[in-house]
């Protein structure tokens, strides 16, 4: 506990606690810093405040970078990564209904193109990245950050070449050769289960996607927090059978679930 701090310090500290934006917080912290008498007994406090300031600045930078990026939408982000003319635009168009130019010209796509796959009502974001070339990883920072944020990379064209440029990225990937199976393979590789929520006394609603191994609790959280907070039991239909289950029950693909609350 540092003693002999001036009164203004505490009002600056109050300003800091009231501050909403990172800029306001930084301003208040700097004021606090200027009001601390500098001696051995205050060293720790000074270091703490400096650290807070640098963290806030870092956070601000990160947010700015994020704003320039593509917003994540849907249940998952899938990225098409491939050598020139491997059919990325063709596939993006056929899976999402987009209309980006797809011709025999290589490197036609110059910036990331975004579309949305509809898989039985479940939305999956699909992004085509400009074609890969030697040194891509170093030169295409924005594209690399999209790859980093993906749940699945779909590799098209020269597999070896693509994997080399992705070195160290450590994302789940599939290599796609047969376009006719693209949608199914993407869905399978994402490893979701489809679960159908059912309001009491009504028909099941459209499917929702959950990670494999997800429980009744996770399904409830996704629909309405009330379902978990006031949970009594859930009624579950699976392969023609009905049972009463609790929050920790693990769901499977095709389950129909009805929440009962108090």
Ligand X SMILES: Nc1nc2c(ncn2[C@@H]2O[C@H](COP(=O)(O)OP(=O)(O)OP(=O)(O)O)[C@@H](O)[C@H]2O)c(=O)[nH]1
User: Which residues make up the interface to ligand X (CB under 6 A)?
Assistant: 82, 84-90, 102-109, 131, 179
Q: Which of 25, 77, 88, 194 binds Mg ion (CB under 5 A)?
A: 88
Stretch of 4-12, 44-52, 101-109, 244-252 contacting Mg ion, by CB under 5 A: 101-109
**Which residue, 16 or 136, is less far from ligand X as judged by CB?**
136
Q: Which of 86, 89, 93, 150 binds Mg ion (CB under 5 A)?
A: 89
In the complex, the smallest distance separating the C-beta of residue 138 from ligand X, rounded to whole angstroms, is: 19
Q: Which does 125 bind (CB under 5 to 8 A by kind): ligand X, Mg ion, none?
A: none
Q: Which of 83, 86, 109, 125 binds Mg ion (CB under 5 A)?
A: 109
Q: Which does 106 bind (CB under 5 to 8 A by kind): Mg ion, ligand X, none?
A: ligand X
Stretch of 25-33, 46-54, 107-115, 202-210 contacting Mg ion, by CB under 5 A: 107-115
User: What does the H/E/C string look like for the chain?
Assistant: CCCCCCHHHHHHHHHHHHCCCHHHHHHHHHHHHHHCCCCHHHHHHHHHHHHHHHHHHHHHHHHHHHHHCCCCCECCEEEEEECCCCCHHHHHHHHHCCCCCCCCCCCCCCCCEEEEEEECCEEEEEEECCCCCCCHHHHCHHHHHHHHCCCEEEEECCHHHHHHHCCCCCCCEEECCCHHHHHHHHHHHHCEEEEEECCCCCCCCCCEEEECCCEHHHHHHHHCHHHHHCEEEEEEEECCEEEEECCCCECCCCCEEEEEEC
In the complex, the smallest distance separating the C-beta of residue 187 from ligand X, rounded to whole angstroms, is: 19
């Amino acid at each position: 506990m540092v003693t002999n701090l001036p009164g203004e310090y505490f009002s600056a500290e109050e300003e800091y606690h009231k501050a909403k934006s990172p800029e306001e917080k930084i301003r208040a912290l700097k004021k606090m810093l200027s009001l601390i008498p500098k001696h051995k007994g205050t060293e720790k406090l000074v270091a703490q405040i400096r650290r807070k300031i640098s963290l806030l600045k870092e956070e601000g930078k990160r947010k700015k970078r994020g704003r320039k990026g593509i917003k994540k939408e849907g249940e998952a982000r899938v990225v098409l990564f491939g050598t020139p003319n491997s059919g990325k635009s063709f596939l993006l168009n056929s899976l999402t209904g987009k209309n980006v130019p797809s011709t025999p010209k290589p490197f036609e796509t110059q910036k990331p193109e975004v579309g949305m796959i509809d898989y039985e009502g479940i939305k999956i974001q699909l992004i085509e990245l400009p074609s890969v070339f030697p040194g891509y990883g170093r030169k295409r920072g924005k594209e690399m950050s999209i790859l980093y944020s993906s749940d699945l990379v779909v590799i098209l064209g020269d597999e070896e070449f693509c994997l080399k440029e992705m070195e160290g990225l450590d994302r789940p990937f599939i290599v796609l050769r047969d376009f006719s199976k693209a949608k199914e393979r993407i869905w399978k590789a994402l490893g979701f289960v489809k679960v159908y929520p059912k309001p009491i006394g009504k028909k099941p609603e459209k499917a929702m996607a959950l990670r494999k191994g997800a429980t009744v609790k996770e399904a409830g959280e996704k629909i309405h927090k009330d379902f978990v907070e006031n949970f009594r039991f859930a009624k579950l239909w699976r392969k023609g059978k009905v049972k009463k289950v609790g929050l920790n029950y693990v769901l499977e693909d095709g389950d129909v679930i009805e929440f009962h609350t108090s």
